[in-house]
Amino acid sequence: MEKNTRGFAHIDTWVFDLDNTLYPHHLLWQQVNDRIRDYVAEFLKVSHDEAFRVQKDYYLRYGTTMRGLMTEHGLDPDDYLEYVHAIDHSPLTPNPALGAAIEKLPGRKLILTNGTTKHADAVMRRLEIHQHFEDVFGIIEAELEPKPSKITYDRFLAKHGVDPLNAAMFEDLARNLEAPHALGMTTVLVVPEGQRDVFREAWEMEGRGEPHVDHVTDDLAGFLKQAVAAA
């Protein structure tokens, strides 16, 4: 299920999305999804059905529901971020196979997420992989501009001094790989099987065959082992 395009022999920086990339989305997403819906309902004073419609519409059009609320309704993001990420992370358990695979990657390892650094830290500590990462670039560091915006990647690369020609990007959304691929990064679409049809929007599962997707995998740890061998 892999296309032979850009490889890994030259990679010295490994960049990972967080949710549904380092762990299957369904373990935490329902909590986050419900809290976003509840926040939208209260903020806009609408029914939960209407809040859910707005939530998904803004997610598609703006990259995150938060960005849509900021753009169209003047949302102050601080309260929103604190509320939607106040979840129980206990469904996550340590993933020693993933940790071992990440540890063996030659070079730097970084997180680039539309979530907060606080949420990312909680996830990585539950997975017991936090010690392998140099830093997290979250939505605050992105100045509240979410992926797939190109400026988000530009800000990330500049802050961490990353040469995109020597970097790989791992993501669960194909549209979030378009900008990094255009910048020269090797791109990997991570598609955990067995839960996507239930927990993901139809558009989120599109794009596997797009030219900006160099590789596709449903087994991140196994794929990283192969990448190390190639590198």
Q: What is the 3-state secondary structure (H, E, C) of 34-69?
A: HHHHHHHHHHHCCCHHHHHHHHHHHHHHHCCHHHHH
Provide the pLDDT confidence category of residue 1 given band limits of 50, 70 and 90.
Answer: very low
The model's pLDDT over 69-120, given as tens digits with 9 standing for 90+, comes to 999 999 999 999 999 999 999 999 999 999 999 999 999 999 999 999 999 9
Residues 6+ apart with CB under 8 A from 94: 126, 127, 128
Residues 36-48: what's their mean pLDDT? Answer: 97
Q: What's the mean pLDDT when you consider all of the chain?
A: 91
Look at residue 168 in the predicted model and tell me its pLDDT.
Answer: 98
Report the chain's terminal Cα–Cα distance, integer Å.
19
Q: What is the set of domains in the chain, with CATH numbers?
A: 13-24+94-230 (3.40.50.1000), 29-84 (1.10.150.450)
On the question of pLDDT at 127 being above 90, the answer is: yes
The model's pLDDT over 188-221, given as tens digits with 9 standing for 90+, comes to 999 876 544 444 555 556 677 799 999 999 999 9
Helices (H), the chain: 29-44, 48-62, 65-73, 77-84, 96-103, 117-127, 150-160, 178-183, 196-199, 220-230
Residues 143-163: what's their mean pLDDT? Answer: 97
Provide the pLDDT confidence category of residue 30 given band limits of 50, 70 and 90.
Answer: confident
Burial 195-222 (b: 16+ CB within 10 A, else e): ebeebbeeebeebeeeebbbbbbebbee
Look at residue 26 in the predicted model and tell me its pLDDT.
Answer: 82
Q: Which residue's entry shows tokens 């949420």?
A: 119
3-state secondary structure at position 175:
helix
**CA nearest 63: which of 203, 192, 191?**
203
Look at residue 140 in the predicted model and tell me its pLDDT.
Answer: 96
On the question of pLDDT at 3 being above 90, the answer is: no
**CA nearest 36: which of 51, 19, 26?**
51
The model's pLDDT over 12-25, given as tens digits with 9 standing for 90+, comes to 999 999 999 999 87
Structure tokens at 122: 């909680």
User: What single-letter amino acid sits at 137?
Assistant: F
Confirm if 201 and 60 have CB atoms less than 8 A apart. Answer: yes
